[in-house]
Amino acid sequence: MRRAKITIVGAGNVGATTAHWCAADELGDIVLLDIPQTEGMPAGKALDLAEAAPIMGFDAKILGTTSYADTAGSDVVVITAGIPRKPGMSRDDLLSTNAKIVGSVAEQIKQSSPNAVVIVVSNPLDAMVQRALQVTGFPPNRVLGQAGVLDTARYRTFLAMELGVSVEDVSALLLGGHGDTMVPLPSCTSVGGIPVTQLIPAARLEEIVQRTRDGGAEIVGLLKTGSAYYAPAAATAQMVEAIVRDKKRLLPCAAYCDKEYGVGGYYVGVPVVLGTGGVERIIELKLEPTEQAAFQKSVDAVKGLVATMNKLVG
């Protein structure tokens, strides 16, 4: 049986670690691509990872390259390319720069892998996945963003820490945009089947929710230089697995919602069924009034971000 071909664009910490998780789980053959100016960097990382295979016991072809010709015919393309926000850089500067980078990558993908499912990881996430859709022109179900899996993992981690239980027993869900306006859903959160509201007082639960929203910033603050990459990469690999193995996983992803939730044609975090076709179904939940209000606030923030991006890139 032919193994899936997985291309990861951007060989920095998130991209290289995504390649690591995907290779270790034998999800397919991997192409790790970066810009020509990086010269041998992606090839060096790919070779280093390949040399780990005999030790860790996995089989995967791993290629590092700066040429999109090597990515042709990919089944899944992960976009991690982009720059982090630097001191003195405005939000619009970051938005404009990364929109151009993601747009350039999307144009190449459109030519080299016209049948691929595209997972966008670059920030600001909700705008970048919209940009990838605009440029590729792919069906919306084949372009999605990674955010909800990561945010949910952080939420579950903090809940498990609070209660002193295994993370495996914590089930949770979030909606909305990635970042300050994400909407954790207490009504869809349980621990061993017990509603979390019966285990944690409302005030303390809200503190945990806020820590989840600030999860990325907390790590940036601790690292001083750089940002999170183990968990973002693991979250991306879980999405890749759902697609290449047609797992039909129900996961929170940034998906294109038109009539769904009344969003009107934007990418927001919602629960989806993820399989070979990408987003195979969006699950619409009946939200409580406070959850609906928070979700609408998040959707409005995403719309504002996309409107600004469209003005900046023309």
CA distances from 286 to 123, 148, 194, 260, 295 (A): 29, 18, 20, 12, 12
Yes or no: say if 237 and 8 are a contact pair by the CB < 8 Å rule: no
Residues 6+ apart with CB under 8 A from 170: 156, 159, 160, 163, 189, 190, 191
What distance in Å separates the CA atoms of residue 308 and residue 311, rounded to the nearest whole number? Answer: 5
263, with CB counted inside 10 A (0-12, 13-18, 19+), is: buried
All domains of the chain in start order, with CATH? 5-145 (3.40.50.720), 148-313 (3.90.110.10)
Catalytic residue (choose from 5, 45, 131, 178): 178
pLDDT at 152: 95
- CA 261-103-48 angle, to 5 degrees, is 105
The half-sphere exposure of 101 on its side-chain side, counting CA atoms within 13 A, is: 24
178 is catalytic: yes
Encode the chain (314 residues) as per-residue pLDDT tens digits: 679 999 999 999 999 999 999 999 999 999 999 998 888 999 999 999 999 999 999 999 999 999 999 999 999 999 999 987 766 667 778 899 999 999 999 999 999 999 999 999 999 999 999 999 999 999 999 999 998 999 999 999 999 999 999 999 999 999 998 878 889 898 899 999 999 999 999 999 999 999 999 998 899 889 988 889 999 999 999 999 999 999 999 999 999 999 999 999 999 999 999 999 999 999 999 998 989 999 999 999 999 999 999 999 97
pLDDT at 87: 65
Residues 6+ apart with CB under 8 A from 86: none
Tokens linked to 139: 């069906």
How do 170-171 and 190-191 pair as beta strands? antiparallel
